[in-house]
Amino acid sequence: MKGYAEGIADAIIRFGKDFEIFSSDSDYYDSVSMKLMQIGELCGGLSPEFKEATKDKIPWGAIRGMRNFFAHNYISMDKSIIWDAATIDAPIILAFCEGIIVQHGKKFSPFDPMANE
């Protein structure tokens, strides 16, 4: 998830933090959308214990829900919602992931709670 959130930040730097550019450039839109979808896909594999313990920091259900919209309704997605997810939510996810890595070290796995014992 960290890598995809970083990719979104890189795309914003590359293309510009401008909704008009985002909404009119299919490469920009597709790149960011795919990365958001991948974040949603990956959060589906997080352990229930991890999601429960961190639900006050990250809305896992909403992230997974956005992934489902991408997967099933991509053509009708509201670009302003995607833009907000990219410019507001993705930086929060990135900071959260970085904090988890600092707090628990690289051995930490939110996918397998048994690996953390």
pTM recorded for the entire structure: 0.83
| Each residue's pLDDT expressed in tens, for the chain with a length of 117 residues | 999 999 999 999 999 999 999 999 999 999 999 999 999 999 989 999 999 999 999 999 999 888 888 777 766 789 999 999 999 999 999 999 999 888 876 665 555 544 444
**Nearest in space to 43 (alpha carbons), one of 19, 27, 21, 59:** 59
Distance CA 96, CA 68 (A): 22
Element counts in the chain: helices (H) and strands (E): 7, 0
How far apart CA 113 and CA 81 sit, in angstroms, is 32
- One-letter amino acid for residue 5 of the chain: A
